[in-house]
Amino acid sequence: MNTPIKKLILASSLTVALIPFTGMALADVESQEMTELSQSVQISTAYALSPFLRAHDLHVSVKGNKATLNGKVEDEVNKELARQIALGVSGVNEVDNQITLDYDYDAKAVSTGRSFGEMVDDATITAAVKSKLLWSKFFEGLIIDVDTESGKVTLKGTVDSEVNKALSGSLAMNTKGVVALDNQLKINNDKPTVIDKTVKTINTAGQDITDSWITTKVKSTLMYSGNVNASQISVITNKGEVSLTGSVSSDAERALAIKIAENVRGVKRVTAKDLMSGYLLIAKPF
């Protein structure tokens, strides 16, 4: 075989042999680019959800393990917050923080309409209020419409008394993030018929409300409540009897925690002798 043909065969063989490695290299590059894009989206989404940064026009790019930040904020605190959020994303080990300070920068004036973060906040509030009403023993079987815009909650539907209308408003207002309430609930004074009572009895009997369900719902309701520090309260349920233990900052917070637990469907009794309020936690002098 002459030399030119040998060279051609050798070159062709090398090309064929390198194809899998070239494909692997391209796949690695594409995978790295997707990872960097995902990291950029995570950081940008965190900025959109942050009440301190959502109105700012911030830009993020990630290359390797380094995130580069651009944009304007009005103070050092928000610039540092942006850096810390970026560092909190998995795989980002370095931040080139090119965000500039403009002490006259008015982020609210730049933004128009509700931001993504504000819409998420409103949706979260709506879900929390709906859950509290759904889990409440006083609103079983009722359909109450909940809508939230910029922290203002609107309630629509019917309840059976002024007391329950007021209670629904209290549950809504005592939810994290709620700043105002428009309680449009109407009172339906029609007494339930025998059929209504029978259906409700059957439905109630058919619901197996377990202790674990009660514990979960009490914990969640406490967590959603704006005036109770749920992280300091432990909840245990035994045969429908709820025991609250831990610490709260005041007698008012303690009373509210008990009231919240009593309101949950399936709760027969609440004991809170080991739920200590602030002044009880202060050791007496010798």
Q: Let me know whether 123 and 191 are in one domain.
A: yes
Tens digit of pLDDT for each residue in 15-69?
555 556 556 666 666 788 898 999 999 999 999 888 888 878 899 999 999 999 9
Question: How many other CB atoms sit within 10 Å of the CB of residue 256?
Answer: 18
Beta-bridge mates of residue 145: 156
Choosing from 92, 110, 128, the residue where a domain stops is 110
Tell me which of 81, 110, 139 is where a domain ends: 110
- Please state, rounded to an integer, the average pLDDT across all residues of the chain: 82
Domain of 248, CATH number, reads 3.30.1340
Cα 153 to Cα 149: distance, rounded to the nearest angstrom? 7
CB within 8 Å of 37: residues ≥ 6 apart: 62
Residues with Cβ within 8 Å of residue 26, at least 6 apart in sequence: none
Q: Which residue has the tokens 């019917």?
A: 158
Number of domains in the chain: 3
What is the per-residue pLDDT across 139-158, written as a single tens digit (0 to 9) for each? 887 889 999 998 999 999 99
Q: How many helices (H) and strands (E) does the chain have?
A: 9, 12
Residue 53: HSE in the Cβ half-sphere, 13 Å Cα cutoff: 26
Domain range holding 101?
Answer: 14-110
User: Is the CB of residue 122 less than 8 Å from the CB of residue 204?
Assistant: no
